[in-house]
Copies of this chain bind each other. A is one copy, B any other.
Amino acid sequence: MDLLNKFKNSLNANNYKLTRQREDILKIFLENKDRHFNAEELFEEVKKINYDVGLATVYRSLELFCELDIIHQLDFDVSCKRYELNIQGNHHHHLICLECGKIKEFNDRVLEEFENSIQKEHNFKVVNHRIKFYGICKKCEV
């Protein structure tokens, strides 16, 4: 089942209505899997395909999508909230260039093991982690 249908089922199962606006907003996420939208940017994109969407609806949809685990909040940006799609098997972390601000994603395997040692050493049952490496990307290093 593709993501759009999965989303539709999820709405249904939770007694939320499938509206034009919600579908359009999700489409923007699906068509830009590598982007990390904030509300304003998402609003700009959605207006291109449906001019009558309000900013408040974008905010309300972002909250709803988080609740349904379709997207999650990111913490790159201290001045606004950013979001990205939750795609199964897409657990990854970010390399953030201090020069150009470009964000590259990378998958990890090593760190999963590391969680176990934390669990033992600190009596802390790890559920999730969020890791950011700041540095200088290939392009900027020249």
Q: Is the CB of A95 within 8 A of B111?
A: no
Q: Is the CB of B104 within 8 A of A122?
A: yes
Selected interface stretch from A13-21, A23-31, A44-52, A123-131: A123-131
Size class of the contact patch on chain A: 35 or more
Beyond A75-B75, A111-B114, is A127–B135 a contact (Cβ under 8 Å)?
yes
CA distance A97 to B124 in the complex (A): 8
Measuring CB to CB, which residues of chain A are less than 8 angstroms from any residue of chain B? 73, 75-76, 78, 81, 95, 97-98, 104, 106, 110-111, 114-115, 117-118, 121-138, 141
Nearest 6 pairs of A and B residues by beta carbon: A123-B138, A126-B135, A75-B75, A128-B134, A127-B135, A125-B136
